[in-house]
Amino acid sequence: MGDPIQDEVRKHQAESIQRELFGTRLGFVLAAVGSAVGLGNMWRFPYRASESGGAAFVLLYVALTLVVGIPLMLCEFSIGRRSRLSPVGAFKKEGGKAWSLVGFLGVLTGFLILSYYAVIAGWVVRYAIEGLLTGFAADPGAHFEMVSTGWVPVVYHLMFMAITTVIVMVGVEKGIERASLILMPVLFFIVLGLAVWAFTLPGSADGYAFYLTPSFEELLDPTTFAEAAGQAFFSLSLGMGAMLTFASYLSRHENLNREAATVAFSDFGVAFTAGLVVFPVIAALGLQSQVSSSTVGALFIALPGAFVEMGGLGRVVGVLFFFALTVGALTSALSLLEVVTASMIDEFRIRRRPAAIGAGIVIALVGLLPATNLDALGVMDRITEWFLAVGALLIAIFVGWRMKDPAQEMLDGASGFFAKVVPAVLFFVRFVMPPVIAYVVYYSTTGMIDTIRQTF
Ligand code: PHE
């Protein structure tokens, strides 16, 4: 990989059957898991859970990941592998011109998500560097306030965007994905170790209660439902064509159903374990008030708090954690920029380099707003969550009702159990998913409007 000329050739073969980038199953799974696992699991999940209903949110998020997330991922995989194109072209080719708007919506969504995603990733980089050079601050709440305001976050944001852009520009994502083969398990095991450690802390019980015992009333709250669905889409990189784009490089022999399940379970495992650290630590170290004054910072307040509490070892573990999380964020950011870049290449027939640089610069500039204004960041996160839900709805309708013979696409390469479930999955995609996701869209519209009103 990494040879730009080769890359060009591949891109211009976009419409031909030879478009195949992933030689192995591992390569594809790594890219898809790399896209899914990132700040969505470690930063957004605890932040959203603490903001909207705690355990009820968590339970609904788990259920929706399994019941709606996996089939939706399979839908994206099917469109991508069938069309062998990036989102805009894929919807046009399989559904006609009007449907290409779904692809455009996806590109716009990826564009907007990356503009604030890079800001948060910048905070992560800063924690890694500061942890290494000076250790973690004793007062995590005040420190987070410092990290997320002023002009320094702008520098880290631009730095992160520059790295992301260069990687997509040169087309060496593969190398990064290989690195994540080592670093994602490292991240997971650190988080798992921290979860065990958190369990031993006196006073952690309240944290578990908040995280794991849902109240019945909240479970029935449609807003909590909509937000949990939004979190599932975001965390699984669904609703904007990222998974679709990866699958466009895939061969007919891959078992799409099995891969969808693999990606979803890995992603969910990381998020759930992160919650097993963040909430008990917040309770045990008495960080509740600091977190509630800035829920966006739940991760950035709880974890450094834990690292300080652990003493000398904490610093080592902490630096490793933030470094690994940087790579996790990077593989997700790559997939966001890849959707925008691949669509520009496929649609406007421009070359990879100018496409990536152009997109990267504009996204970096838009990101100056969330980098300097946390309220704007929160609002952008809301708006894009709504976009993802709308995208998810349209994707389900597309596969259920517009695409030709989706069952065949889902069956190619599948065997055993994974082949047997296809008719049931398709029935579900047609009749259950559209109304359920429409419900999500409806309630996340009101949620989004409320947030915008409260903010401004
Ligand atoms: N799933 C990524 C994360 O959890 C974010 C993402 C969303 C990436 C949408 C691509 C598309 O960090």
pLDDT tens for each residue of 344-365: 988 888 999 999 999 999 999 9
Contact status, residue 144 vs residue 294, Cβ threshold 8 Å:
yes
Which pair of tokens denotes residue 48? 């959203």
In a domain, 222, yes or no: yes
Which pair of tokens denotes residue 446? 């009101």
> Which residue bears the tokens 């905070």?
123
In a domain, 246, yes or no: yes
User: 229: pLDDT confidence band, cut at 50, 70 and 90?
Assistant: very high
Best residue among 105, 123, 335, 384 to mutate for probing ligand 1, ranked by most atoms within 8 Å of CB: 335
Distance separating alpha carbons of residues 282 and 160, to the nearest angstrom: 28
pLDDT at res. 73:
98
- Residues, the chain: 456
Cα of 237 to ligand 1 centre, how many Å?
Answer: 4
Report residue 251: phi and psi, to 5°. Answer: -85, 165
pLDDT surpassing 60 at residue 242: yes
Distances (CA, A) of 13 to 16, 174, 320, 442: 5, 19, 41, 40
User: Is the CB–ligand 1 distance for residue 120 below 6 Å?
Assistant: no
In a domain, 13, yes or no: no
pLDDT at res. 331:
93
Query: Model confidence over 63-87: pLDDT tens digits?
Result: 999 999 999 999 999 999 999 999 9
Closest CA to 121 of 340, 354, 377, 307: 377
Cα of 40 to ligand 1 centre, how many Å?
Answer: 6
In a domain, 2, yes or no: no
In a domain, 318, yes or no: yes
Alpha-carbon dihedral of residues 111, 112, 113, 119, nearest 10 degrees? 100
- Closest atom, ligand 1, to C-alpha of 39: 12
Task: Give DSSP secondary structure letters for 50-90.
Answer: HHTTTHHHHHHHHHHIIIIIHHHHHHHHHHHHHH-S-HHHH
In a domain, 14, yes or no: no
pLDDT, mean of residues 157-179? 87
Kindly report the CATH number assigned to the domain that includes residue 227.
Answer: 1.10.4160.10
User: 1: pLDDT confidence band, cut at 50, 70 and 90?
Assistant: very low
Stretch among 114-128, 242-256, 264-278 having the lowest mean pLDDT? 242-256
Distance separating alpha carbons of residues 333 and 177, to the nearest angstrom: 12
Distance separating alpha carbons of residues 307 and 285, to the nearest angstrom: 11
pLDDT at res. 271:
96
Closest CA to 37 of 302, 318, 334: 334
Contact status, residue 144 vs residue 47, Cβ threshold 8 Å:
no
In a domain, 76, yes or no: yes
Alpha-carbon dihedral of residues 106, 170, 5, 246, nearest 10 degrees? -30
Q: How many domains would you assign to the chain?
A: 1
| Segments forming the whole domain that contains residue 255 | 21-455
State the burial class of residue 97 (Cβ atoms within 10 Å of its Cβ: 0-12, 13-18, 19+).
exposed
In a domain, 16, yes or no: no
Cα of 109 to ligand 1 centre, how many Å?
Answer: 11
Amino acid at 300: F
